[in-house]
């Protein structure tokens, strides 16, 4: 597997565009479009929140019932959630106008929105945006990057990744972009992530590969414990690499899945590391768990603990909060057997052994915890299972951003 430059336009036949439609932001791009030159098999996973945004409902229907998908229209600034029948109508209107200018069926158009809940989309500006983007569709790396920037809300960095693998003698590319910074606690899926590939693969296996992989990637991150109304991952495969179509779980399928996992995990970590207001990516790895499920419960409990996150912000080796968060996770373990380590680019050190602090240097621990990516590793000594989760620190800026997000 080779990591390459680019994002959603890296795979053959995928074009993108972006524009400043003034949905909510001024003086920046806030709409993006992805288009495939040929029809795609589409897979998707969506929020499990009972309160589902209109575009989530629209896309669930397209992924399930449309013969193919060929375009995605995305806006930042307004989530189109809690907008009733009027909001759902605007998804259809958006698809209609995109279908018209792109000369594809309306039910091949996916839509996605992110931003404030409860406001209606300004449809005149959405329509103008779609019409402005269609003639600008372009398969360059720069175009993909422009799209990744246009979908940002409180994100501070654009998030994209692409990889290549060989399948049946052909070079297959998978590329993706995502946004996500607040209201990030995916359950079954995540925020907005768009992954494109030129692999030929059956729709069933495409969906299965995605549904499985999100459990270890997007579902293992959290910024603030709030599961959004808009979480969406879309995976489009147009088959243009020319590889023999994957229709069974053979070696090609495993290779594809591994590459997909790299793309999803990379995008997920980029989201956690750019959580609202955060200064550090905080990774928690549980080793020696009885089962993978137990390891995941423990890891996720620690990365969602407000007290632990505040301690990471303070570069404070407050291991008691980590053990406490493991303790209330619901997983079963013996606290008096736990070993805990901190690790970063500045080194690795043991903090507790069998549940009690070893004689470690607070100064050295603070040095390790002052890096932009820090990891806590807990060994619960019960078995061989392992899992990682990714979050971020809790900072003044998280509060600042969210005390005044709407205005």
Active site residues: 190
CA 212, 213, 218, 220 torsion: positive or negative? positive
**Of residues 244 and 355, the one with the C-beta less far from a copy of itself:** 355
Radius of gyration of the chain (CA): 21
358 touches a copy of itself by CB under 8 A = no
Decide: 304 and 395 in contact? Cβ < 8 Å: no
Query: Where does this chain touch a copy of itself (CB under 8 A) — which range of 157-165, 201-209, 223-231, 282-290?
Result: 223-231
345, with CB counted inside 10 A (0-12, 13-18, 19+), is exposed
**Of residues 177 and 214, the one with the C-beta less far from a copy of itself:** 214
CA nearest to 41, candidates 361, 256, 308: 256
Other C-beta atoms lying within 10 Å of the C-beta of residue 337: 14
Instruction: Tell me if 153 is assigned to a ligand binding site.
Output: yes
Total site size for a copy of itself, rule CB under 8 A? 63
Report the half-sphere exposure of 100 (CA within 13 A, side-chain side): 11
Report the half-sphere exposure of 384 (CA within 13 A, side-chain side): 0
Q: What x-and-dash track marks residues 179-218 binding a copy of itself by CB under 8 A?
A: ---xx-x-x-------------------------------
**Of residues 118 and 244, the one with the C-beta less far from a copy of itself:** 118
Binding to a copy of itself, residues 24-63 (CB under 8 A) = 48-52
Q: Strand 192-197 to strand 14-19: parallel, antiparallel, or no bridges (unpaired)?
A: unpaired
Q: Strand 373-379 to strand 281-289: parallel, antiparallel, or no bridges (unpaired)?
A: parallel
DSSP, collapsed to helix, strand or coil, labels residue 217 as coil
Of the candidate residues 254, 355, 372, 384, the single one contacting a copy of itself (CB under 8 A): 355
**To the nearest whole angstrom, how small is the minimum distance from the Cβ of residue 398 to a copy of itself?**
7
**Of residues 54 and 205, the one with the C-beta less far from a copy of itself:** 54
Instruction: Tell me if 94 is assigned to a ligand binding site.
Output: no
361, with CB counted inside 10 A (0-12, 13-18, 19+), is exposed
Binding to a copy of itself, residues 230-259 (CB under 8 A) = none
Return residues touching a copy of itself (CB under 8 A). 48-52, 79, 81-84, 116-118, 182-183, 185, 187, 224-229, 304-307, 310-311, 313-314, 316, 318-321, 323-328, 332-333, 335-336, 352, 355-357, 394-396, 398-407
């Amino acid at each position: 597997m080779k990591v390459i430059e680019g994002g959603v336009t890296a795979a053959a036949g995928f074009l993108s565009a972006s524009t400043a439609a003034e949905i909510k932001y001024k003086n920046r791009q806030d709409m993006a479009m992805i288009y495939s030159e040929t029809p795609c098999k589409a897979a998707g996973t969506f929020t499990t929140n009972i309160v589902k945004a209109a575009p989530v409902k629209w896309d669930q229907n397209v992924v399930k019932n449309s013969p193919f998908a060929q375009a995605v229209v995305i806006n930042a600034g307004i989530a189109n959630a809690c907008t009733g029948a009027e909001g759902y109508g605007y998804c259809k209107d958006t698809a209609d106008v995109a279908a018209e200018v792109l000369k594809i069926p309306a039910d091949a158009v996916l839509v996605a929105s992110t931003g404030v809940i409860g406001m209606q989309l300004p449809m005149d500006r959405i329509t103008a945006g779609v019409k402005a983007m269609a003639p600008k569709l372009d398969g360059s790396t720069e175009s993909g990057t422009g799209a990744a920037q246009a979908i940002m809300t409180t994100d501070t960095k654009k998030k994209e990744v692409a990889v290549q693998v060989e399948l049946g003698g052909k070079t297959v590319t998978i590329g993706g972009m995502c946004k996500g910074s607040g209201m990030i606690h995916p359950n079954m899926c995540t925020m907005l992530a768009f992954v494109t590939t030129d692999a030929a693969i059956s729709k069933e296996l495409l969906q299965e590969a995605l549904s499985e992989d999100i459990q270890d990637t997007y579902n293992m991150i959290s910024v603030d414990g709030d599961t959004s109304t808009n979480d969406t991952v879309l995976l489009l495969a147009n088959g243009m690499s020319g590889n023999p179509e994957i229709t069974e779980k053979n070696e090609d399928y495993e290779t594809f899945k591994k590459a997909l996992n790299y793309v999803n995990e990379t995008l997920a970590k980029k989201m956690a590391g750019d959580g609202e207001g955060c200064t550090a990516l905080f990774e928690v790895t549980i080793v020696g768990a009885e089962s993978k499920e137990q390891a995941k419960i423990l890891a996720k409990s620690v990365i969602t603990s407000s007290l632990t996150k505040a301690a990471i912000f303070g570069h404070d080796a407050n291991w008691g909060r980590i053990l406490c968060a493991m303790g209330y996770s619901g997983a079963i373990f013996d606290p008096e057997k736990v070993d805990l380590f901190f690790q970063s680019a500045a080194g690795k050190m043991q903090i507790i052994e069998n549940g009690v602090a070893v004689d470690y240097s607070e100064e050295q621990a603070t040095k390790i915890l002052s890096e932009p990516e820090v990891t806590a590793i807990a060994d619960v000594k019960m078995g061989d299972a392992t899992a990682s989760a990714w979050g971020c620190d809790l900072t003044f800026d998280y509060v600042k951003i969210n005390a005044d997000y709407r205005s």
